[in-house]
Amino acid sequence: MAGDLSPLTVGAETTTIATSATQAGIYTALGAEVTSIGVPGAEQTKVDTWGLGSANKTSRPGKIPDFGTISIKLYADPNFSGHAALMAAASNGLVQWFKVTYGDSFTTHATHTFSGWIKSLKPMALEGEKNLEWTLEIVVVTPPVFVTGTTP
């Protein structure tokens, strides 16, 4: 049953991320070269509601949630079309859709879908026998939609 699995059943090595121009569009995988994916969350602003005459500090949640940023590390391949598209997206600042598909044990895997824009795409220095690596930071714009995995 969905939701009954321990977090240990989600393998990072089989979790993927893909991008699309629209939410319902065709998603292009960023490739198997992804080595680390941050997962979107949410944070509410704390608004103080106490005054100088108050006996206690009180607060309420803000009305505008902050969905934060996520970081992705991947081995870069300038010849891979998905990576070329990332470079273009990092330059134009357009909001696009992202889908994280978890490497869980379900037949249809759990997903997080959200829109965001690429704040930075930074190449890491090439050293010795290491691969070319990029660090990508995405500002999450819309509330992440989480869909649980299903079995047949």
Residue 8, pLDDT above cutoff 60: no
Structural domain of 25: 15-40+65-147
Does residue 152 belong to any structural domain of this protein? no
* Structure token pair of residue 152: 């047949």
3-state secondary structure 119-136: EEEEECCCCCCCCCEEEE
Does residue 59 belong to any structural domain of this protein? no
Does residue 88 belong to any structural domain of this protein? yes
Cα separations (Å) of 136 from 19, 46, 51, 69, 104? 13, 29, 43, 10, 24
Task: Give the count of domains, the chain.
Answer: 1
Does residue 131 belong to any structural domain of this protein? yes
DSSP 25: S
If pLDDT is split at 50, 70 and 90, which confidence band does 149 have? confident
- Residues 113 and 17: their CA atoms lie apart, in Å, by 10
Q: What is the pLDDT of residue 134?
A: 85
Cα separations (Å) of 98 from 62, 67, 71, 117, 151? 26, 14, 12, 10, 23
How do residues 46-55 score in pLDDT, each as one tens digit? Answer: 999 999 999 9
Does residue 105 belong to any structural domain of this protein? yes
Residue 128's domain is classified under what CATH number?
2.30.110.20
Does residue 5 belong to any structural domain of this protein? no
Does residue 84 belong to any structural domain of this protein? yes
How do residues 52-68 score in pLDDT, each as one tens digit? Answer: 999 999 999 999 889 99
- The pTM for the full model equals 0.76
Output the CA angle 101-106-111, nearest 5 degrees: 25
Helical H runs in the chain? 81-92
